[in-house]
Structure 1
Amino acid sequence: MRLWGEGEELVDAAMLVVCELVTNAIRYGAQLLSERAEREHGAGSTITLNLALRPDALHIEVRDGSAVLPVQSVAGREDEHGRGLAIIAALAESWTCARERGGGKWVRAVVSRRYTHGG
């Protein structure tokens, strides 16, 4: 994103969103496949990250092999997990998710470029 000439505020916001989405994909989406799928495709699922910089926003998409959709939860003060989607919701204009027809899912977040243009 720095090569694209984006400012530190957008880079920082995007890094947090990407880290949360990828962490969720690793934690919940990259679980071992069934024995049959493991023989055919390997031991785990693939996680992909796509970034698209548009005039008004950065579009972030993470895909993984799990069909289980993320659900925003409310974490207690002592909880170690459960804040990721709240962080994404706070930084992004929007986020959404859906199952893939062939299996797996995608989660998308849109981060406004206002971070680089002074709000």
Structure 2
Amino acid sequence: MVDTVELLASELVTNAINATGVTEIPEDANQLAGKAQPIYLCLSVRPEAVLIEVWDSSSTPPLQRAAADDEENGRGLVLVQALSKEWGCVLLPTGGKIVWCECLIEGSA
């Protein structure tokens, strides 16, 4: 289950970085000043599931799409849907969004 939670969190964080952050890191890290946007990751353990939430400043909801066989991108949300109990996106009135998913704890119904 740890591997599944790690993969789900990685997919949601990657999407948040792509939505709001700098995706190419320059050789001089000082060039990132003022360009990178914060994202926040929250993991909550419940009796039956682990809740993974990722906030970013973009108000654009994530879009699940069908990736071609030769594409390296475009399968993250398909994985999230397949491996989680459920997932969703909440647009916040204060700006940004939270994309979340629940991963069932093994042995719980």
Shared fold, TM over 0.5: yes
- Kept in 1: contact 2:16–2:56 (CA 8 A): yes
Matched, 1:107 2:99: yes
Residue of structure 2 equivalent to 1:98: 90
* Gapped regions of structure 1 (runs ≥ 5): 1-9, 32-41
- Kept in 2: contact 1:93–1:109 (CA 8 A): yes
- Kept in 2: contact 1:30–1:66 (CA 8 A): no
* Greater share of residues in helix: 1
3-state SS of paired residue (2:102): strand
TM-score by length of 1: 0.77
CA–CA distance in structure 1, aligned partners of residues 83 and 46 of structure 2: 17
Q: RMSD of the TM alignment (CA)?
A: 1.6
Q: Deviations over 1:61-106 (max 9, x none)?
A: 0000100100111111011110000011111000000211111111
Residue of structure 2 equivalent to 1:70: 62
Amino acid in structure 1 at the alignment position of 2:64? Q
Residue of structure 2 equivalent to 1:88: 80
3-state SS of paired residue (2:90): strand
Amino acid in structure 2 at the alignment position of 1:92? S
Cα deviation, residue 12, structure 1: 0.4
TM-score by length of 2: 0.83
